[in-house]
Structure formats: C-alpha cells, structure tokens
Amino acid sequence: QKEVEQNSGPLSVPEGAIASLNCTYSDRGSQSFFWYRQYSGKSPELIMFIYSNGDKEDGRFTAQLNKASQYVSLLIRDSQPSDSATYLCAVSTGGFKTIFGAGTRLFVKA
C-alpha cells in the first residue's frame, strides 16, 4: 500500500463546475496535510494546508480532512481553465518528513 494515494486521473470538468480531488494516507500519526499544484514543467506550489478535522476554505478552494477515515480532499469551485494542472496531496508526520502522492491531473474545459 502506498503511503499517500491519489487517483491519477485525468479528471475533466467543465468551466464553472466544482472539481473534487481526493487523497488517502496510511500513517495514522500524520499531522499536517497539504495540497500543491504543479503546472507542467514547473515546481509544485502550495495551495492549501490543513491540520484539523473539518473544512478549511480559502477563496475558491476548500480542503477537507477526516483523520478517522484517513482522507483529505480538495474542492475547487468555479473551476477555470487556468486551474488545469496536476494536484499533489502531501502528508507530514511530526518529524518534518513530507510524503507526496503521485498527483491527480485536472483538466478544466472552456
């Protein structure tokens, strides 16, 4: 079992729709959870981080964490073509080590 699992996609949504990206992790001791966006040929850039169960909203983005189910998700509302990228889920334990999932490719169709 991989430590951080994501559906590789591609996930295709029309412009203006909600994109839902999901991630599961195996280490119950994980404490910090991150979503990064990576455009082709570029470095990952941080979108959201979440530490507590529940929802965290930032603009069009909402991160959801359920530690009991070892599940974290990212919702993108009013999806735009510029949101088309690979979204990486990352998980940290208390020891500063961050593990990444393989990423989900998102296509937003104009």
Partner 1 sequence: EAGVTQFPSHSVIEKGQTVTLRCDPISGHDNLYWYRRVMGKEIKFLLHFVKESKQDESGMPNNRFLAERTGGTYSTLKVQPAELEDSGVYFCASRDDWPGSPLHFGNGTRLTVT
**CA gap 32, 49 in Å, rounded:** 7
Q: Which residue among 13, 27, 49, 61 contacts partner 1 (CB under 8 A)?
A: 49
**Binding of partner 1 by 28 (CB under 8 A):** no
Rule CB under 8 A: choose which of 7, 27, 67, 100 binds partner 1: 100
> How many residues sit in the footprint of partner 1 (CB under 8 A)?
25
Least spacing, CB of residue 15 vs partner 1, in Å: 27
Q: What is the three-class DSSP state of 6? A: strand
Phi then psi for residue 69, to 5 deg, are -90, -5
Contact between 82 and partner 1 per CB under 8 A: no
Least Å from the CB of residue 59 to partner 1: 17
Q: Which residue has the tokens 């510029």?
A: 82
Among residues 34, 17, 21, the alpha carbon closest in space to that of 86 is found at 21
CA distance from start to end of the chain: 36
Binding site for partner 1 (CB under 8 A): 2, 4, 31-32, 34, 42-46, 49, 51, 88, 90, 92, 94-103
